[in-house]
Structure 1
Amino acid sequence: MDPHIDIDIDIDIDIDIDIDICSLPKENWQRDVHAVQLGGFWFMPESIKPILRVINNFKPLPTDVIVATFPKTGTTWLKSLLYSILNRSSKHNLAVQHPHNLVPFLEVQVFAESDEPLLLAAPSDEPRIFSTHIPCQLLAKTLDSSECKVVYLTRNPKDTLISMWHFVNKYKPDQSWSLDEATDSFCRGVGLYAPYYDHVIGYREQSLKRPENVMFVTFEEMMEDPRGYVKKLDDFLGCPFEDEDEVEEIVKNCSIEVLSNHDVKKSKESPSRIPLPYNAFFRKGKIGDHNNYLSDESIERIDTLTRERFHSLGFMYGI
């Protein structure tokens, strides 16, 4: 990947805080579920007010760390890694608490019901860690106003699609969503926090403009070299390891195999303010799983879109 590519995209969008949700464009996402459009992206109607609260009221501290992702791209894994790196004296918490409670979502948990944050993410003597799926295009002013650190994780579009398809059908088994329908929605750019391509491009652009504050990584690179990327994350966050054993321990304890076997991760209970069971957040976490599900026609359809959206910009990723 060329770190000097030039991506021309507007990441400074003004949004009326008093917007009427009923006036927003609406489109079918899956079955009878509709999404509404805000600032060029699609969300569930109930997410709009919390997202606006984050945009208008979140004031990041210089020491804050934010995990930013498109849904189903490795969010839970990255949360676990960053929590372990920044909270080494408390890393055992991952065995008894879910990453989504240890690293809360800004729009789902922190600003869920009030302009004032409902909770803070870490003890006062340690950096606060938050997460978000909100596109950079909507958060640019907030992030630019602070020296906080942002780590953005992306994933192959086809594997992202398959993970989302499984996820939706797992927690809504009574509303089976066909893979053809899921593929069509993905390619149309309609879905949770979609379009995927705009989401990725926005944070990619920020990482090129502000590399000291925004780190852009891919799921595939991290899976192929987890030790190397734990070190890179550590360097980016400025908290060096004392020895290699610490790196090895974090990689092992944050592996999907270990994380998914903790009792709390198998529970049918739900994280704070997230209406999904703990056991819904772990599946395979493999590279190339889309080959087991997508037809050649669907793969070519997505690859064509990837060439148009990524490769045309010099971002040679996703195929």
Structure 2
Amino acid sequence: MESSPLSKTTIASKTTMESLEKYKDEISGLPRDNGWIPWQPLCLYKGFWLYPYFLQGSLQARDHFEAQPSDVFICSSMKTGSTWLKSLCFSIATRAQFDIDSTTPLRTTLPHECIPFLEYCEYYTAPQGPKTSLFASHLPYTCLPKSIIDSGCKIVYICRDPKDTFVSLWHFLPKIVATMAPGQEDLVVSIEEGFELFCKGLFSYGPYWDHVLGYWKASLERPDKILFFKYEDLKKKTEACVRKLADFLECPFSIDEEKEGAVQKIIKFCSFESLSNLEVNKTGKHVRGDDFVENNIFFRKGKVGDWRNYLSAEMGERLDNIMEEKLSGSGLTFKN
């Protein structure tokens, strides 16, 4: 399987001014709440909270994006391990095209820029018709464009212990604000306020439990099309998960590759320690239109259980109880 990361275009260019106005009108009629960033209200769309910018992108994709059966979507809620999963998927899918020791774009490009993000209305052109194209999205399953579901393309989903997810998200947002709106980062909610909002489901792409549950149920209904991972399992059983991922992407490791240690090489290169120490991820910038963020904000710790350094045992138990109640009867649990 091959996929070129170099040729990019946008479906936004296909969107007329009339349709942009239509999206603004559609969005303006939705319920709103201030959320974590007071001057950036969240909109309630199909039961989930989205920032208007990403919602507009998702509506454009709804109307203009046409998924192909060979497409693969890497989906997740925010701060659940998507940087790692994207790196693994990209390395696995393009290993016949790029040498991981020298020519892979991941050595000079942020993982998020190697795989187009649906809500930004990006996609790769493929003039030579690669077998598979990789895409990414934070959208809930029920908010994905209909063409993605109807096309039968594959989806890889990753979720994470909600306590670690919350802590990672709370560290991430002030850094985004500090870069895009310098001097305003102190206006982001406190960790206590953020925790209350998270427990209510009020944050970007939340509620978390509904996001996870949507993909979990879909993976049970369509196991050949949707591969569901927990971040903790990916950390604990990395080799087994990487082989499973390669099989799912229809580019399994050959006997010769196994003998040559291809699996271990990809795992080592895509590790937090390796990626976070690449110069592009230490000093580079992630540019979107007129805005940019420092690449290093996408690499904090990647540790399981780091929530204990920021939340009390009571807060952890409260969030665990909420998740257990919301996921009750689904067969999915986050309890250790």
Q: TM-score range by the shorter chain?
A: 0.7 to 0.9
Residue 41 of structure 2 is aligned to residue 29 of structure 1: no
Counterpart in the other structure of 1:303: 320
Q: Distance in 2 between matches of 1:84 and 1:49?
A: 31
Residue 209 (structure 1) aligns with: 221
Question: Which blocks of at least 5 consecutive residues in structure 2 are unaligned?
Answer: 1-21, 178-184
Give, in whole Å, the separation in 1 of the partners of 2:188 and 2:126.
Answer: 35
> In 2, distance between residues paired with 1:197 and 1:208?
16
Deviates more, 1:88-97 or 1:203-212: 88-97
TM, length-normalised to structure 2: 0.83
Q: 1:96 to 1:187 in 2, by over 3 A?
A: same
Match of 1:86 in 2: 93
- Give the residue type in structure 2 aligned to 1:26: R
For residues 221-253 of structure 1, the C-alpha deviation after alignment (integer angstroms, 9 at most, x for no partner) is 000011110000011111111222110111001
Q: How does 1:45-124 map to 2 (within 5 A)?
A: 45-88=52-95, 89-90=97-98, 91=100, 92-110=104-122, 119-120=124-125, 124=129
Amino acid across the alignment from 1:157 = P
Partners of 1:226 and 1:175 in 2: how far apart?
Answer: 39
Aligned ranges for residues 152-171 of structure 1 at < 5 Å? 152-171=157-176
For residues 223 and 254 of structure 1, the distance between their equivalents in structure 2, rounded to whole angstroms, comes to 12
Identity of aligned residues (%): 38
Asked if the contact 2:109/2:280 (under 8 Å) is kept, the reply is yes
Determine whether 1:189 maps to 2:201: yes
Partner amino acid for 1:241? F
Mark the CA change 1:190 to 1:275 in structure 2 (over 3 Å): closer, same or farther: farther
Task: Write the deviation string for residues 83-124 of structure 1: whole angstroms up to 9, x where unpaired.
Answer: 0010002242211111111111111251xxxxxx5x448974
The whole-number CA distance in structure 2 between the counterparts of 1:109 and 1:211 is 27
Give the superposed CA RMSD.
Answer: 1.9
Moved more, 237-246 or 70-79: 237-246
For the 8 Å contact 1:271–1:278, the answer to whether it is kept is: no
Given that 1:59 and 1:142 are in contact with CA atoms closer than 8 Å, whether structure 2 keeps it comes out as yes
What's the TM-score once normalised by structure 1's chain length? 0.87
**3-state DSSP of counterpart to 1:20:** helix
Q: From the superposition, tell whether residues 189 and 121 of structure 1 become closer, same or farther in structure 2 (CA, over 3 Å).
A: farther
Which residue of the partner structure matches residue 152 of structure 2?
147
Given that 1:122 and 1:128 are in contact with CA atoms closer than 8 Å, whether structure 2 keeps it comes out as no
Q: 1:179 aligns to what?
A: 191
How many pairs are equivalent? 296
Residue 280 of structure 1: aligned partner: 297
In structure 2, what is the Cα distance between the partners aligned to 1:276 and 1:122? 31
1:211-230 paired onto structure 2 within 5 Å: 211-230=223-242
